[in-house]
Structure 1
Amino acid sequence: MDWIMIIVTVIIVIFIVGTLIHMYNNLVGLRNRVKNSYSQIDVQLKRRNDLIPNLIETVKGYATHEKEVLEEVTKARTNIMNASSIEETSTADNQLTGALKSLFAVAENYPDLKANTNFQQLQTELSETEDKISYARQFYNDVVLKYNNTCQQFPSSILAKIFGFKIEEFFEASEAEKVVPEVKF
């Protein structure tokens, strides 16, 4: 009888240890996916930042008196390059998105610019990059949701607290981007 109790106890201990190892490894894997998905946003933001100087130079030739809009785009680009946290990156990204919208609105006033092949190519590449950034943000938020849920749900929440796993921030749109534009015909 004693051997049976010892064997049952060993099996229970092995099961508990195995479960704890699995939960810990799951938390580590999710945390790494959060970091990886955020770095994918960074890759796309860098790509966009690399395209912007070319776009600005192309627009400068046509819209020399639109200096304020060009400076706003340049400032927003600098802010995103200097951002050091998710919140700063999100804020700077929202500023840059707004500045680019203004830049494209200015371009509408210059038919020669709109017909310029370089401008059209840059506009297409930026549009594609914006789509990739949007997808990367969505993927990041999905991974953060899964990670945060795992950190907060029992019993993995106990392990998360013990080993210092912290809740991650979501990548959020600014209040200005949430406003529905008014369309008039």
Structure 2
Amino acid sequence: MEGDTVGVIVGGILAVLAAVLVWWVVRTYNRLIRLRNQTQASWAQIDVQLKRRHELIPNLVEGARGYATHERTTFEAVVAARGAAVGSGPGVTDKAAAEDVLTASLGKLLALGESYPQLKADRHFTVLQEELTSAEDKIAYARQFYNSAVQSYHSALESFPGNLVSRLGGAHGRREYFEAGTAAQDVAQVRFA
């Protein structure tokens, strides 16, 4: 009788430990999934802001073209960079490189406003500049949020217990950071009217 009671108690303890272990693995796995999904949602927000910027560019180019008709190479460079950015691959690194080139060409376009006082005084061009500045700010914020989400995800993948659970649940893969190139830093120095 006593042996049966001990066996039942040991069996109960093992069942509770197994249940706790399963709960722990499921909870950790779900946390990894939540963090991965947050990185994907954060990237989607960057994509939305980039598309908004891409939509502003043709209007900005057309507004400037009327005042600075002999700046054809600048306009063509912006249009080509926009096309490359819109058509860039889905990868973070490809998108970041294309956006860096676009940002550099936009800096040249916005600098035209300093060279052409009539353009600088044009209300339509000024409004477009303000919208583009706002879009750049939103992109910077979205990039910061995305990179923070990637960092949290990587920390969870690399630390205990996430590293064990990620191996059990299959490879979850690291995400790339979306880093601004030097062109993005240069555009911040352009002064608007």
* Structure 1 length-normalised TM: 0.93
Q: RMSD of the alignment, in Å?
A: 1.6
Does the 8 Å contact 2:100/2:182 carry over to 1?
A: no
The residue aligned with 1:131 is 137
1:36 aligns with 2:38: no
Q: String of CA shifts for 1:52-111, please: whole Å, max 9, x gaps.
A: 000000000001111111111111111111111110110111111111111111121111
The residue aligned with 2:13 is 8
Q: Between Structure 1 and Structure 2, whose CA radius of gyration is higher?
A: 2
The equivalences for 1:151-162 within 5 A come to 151-162=157-168
Count, aligned residues: 181
1:47 aligns with 2:75: no
The residue aligned with 1:168 is 175
* Residue type of the alignment partner of 2:172: F
* Residue type of the alignment partner of 1:136: A
Residue in structure 1 matching 2:123, options 117, 125, 137: 117
Partner SS, residue 108 of structure 1: helix
Partner SS, residue 169 of structure 1: coil
Residue in structure 2 matching 1:18, options 20, 23, 32: 23
Deviation at 1:176, TM superposition (A): 5.2
Moved more, 13-22 or 150-159: 150-159
Identity of aligned residues (%): 39
* Structure 2 length-normalised TM: 0.89
Q: Which runs of 5+ in 2 are unaligned?
A: 1-5
* Residue type of the alignment partner of 1:78: G
Q: Which runs of 5+ in 1 are unaligned?
A: none
